[in-house]
Amino acid sequence: MLKVAGARLLDERDANLVRSVLESAPVAACMVAARVEEAGLHPLRLGGELWGHGDRLSGLCFSGANLVPLRGGPDAMRAFADRALRRRRVCSSLVGPSEQVLALWDEVEAQWGPAREVRAEQPLMVLSERPRLEPDPLVRQVRPHELERYLPAAVAMFTEEVGVDPSTDGGAAGYRARVADLISSGRAFARFEDGQVVFKAEIGALSSTVGQIQGVWTHPERRGTGLGTAGTAAVADRLVRELGRTASLYVNDFNLAARAAYEKVGFRRVGEFATVLL
């Protein structure tokens, strides 16, 4: 049997090649590109490692709190799996283009499985022009002093989406810090009514060309009223018109209501993500 060439840790000497790879798929690579643009390739600054496979980076994978395989065929996924399995698992999920995520999961499942959930088909959607419908004018950036009012909605969203309360098992301080960082950087948005969040969303990753919307949530009592659609339009409008980015997001294929809402805003499908929750 031929031995598969291993994955290697990338460093600043690979910066130009990494940048070229990320620019070739700006929407799918937004999460990783945002980190690299801000921190470079040093693991301590990056918050994880960037692995490459092949002389010209035919395979690329980020390893941190999430394992994000961005490109590569079977050989690259086997090489990434071999590197990942040689150490203690630190990631809580695999996420990224579905072809790579599912292939990599096949390689590591025997040791890391079973997964809590495999979401094999998540449409990746983009909007590069003004929304088709009127953005909600009451959706605005959350202010730092509003953290305590915003945090319960963020926890509710995370619990609904991931199936785990982020404030349990010692995670409260870390999650609070993450939310506070999003607010202080101007990437958390909400509509408040009587001091309560009735809609929220965040720009989870912001590269030089793309902004990825995450954490879209509408208060249960206000769902089905169009509040979420207009709120999402407001955040997308901020990205496109004010920040000059393409707005992107990915959504579970079974969430038909959300998919219909995003299409109404003007988002169109350009690819497919997958997520494996561990």
Same domain, 155 and 206: yes
| pLDDT at site 1 | 35
Tell me, yes or no, whether 85 lies in a domain: yes
| pLDDT at site 4 | 54
| pLDDT at site 117 | 95
Q: Between the CA of residue 222 and those of 67, 82, 179, 191, what are the distances in Å?
A: 35, 47, 23, 12
| DSSP 8-state secondary structure symbol assigned to residue 241 | I
Same domain, 85 and 202: no
Same domain, 103 and 144: no
pLDDT tens digits along 190-203: 999 999 999 999 99
Q: pTM of the full predicted structure?
A: 0.93
Measured distance CA(25)–CA(135) in Å, rounded: 28
Structural domain total, the chain: 2
| pLDDT at site 195 | 93
Residue at which a domain ends, from 69, 96, 114: 114
pLDDT tens digits along 113-153: 999 999 999 999 999 999 999 999 999 999 999 999 999 99
In which domain, by residue range, is 97 found?
8-114
| Average pLDDT, rounded, for the chain | 95
Tell me, yes or no, whether 23 lies in a domain: yes
Tell me, yes or no, whether 192 lies in a domain: yes
Measured distance CA(272)–CA(250) in Å, rounded: 8
Please list the ranges in the chain whose pLDDT falls under 70: 1-4
Same domain, 26 and 83: yes
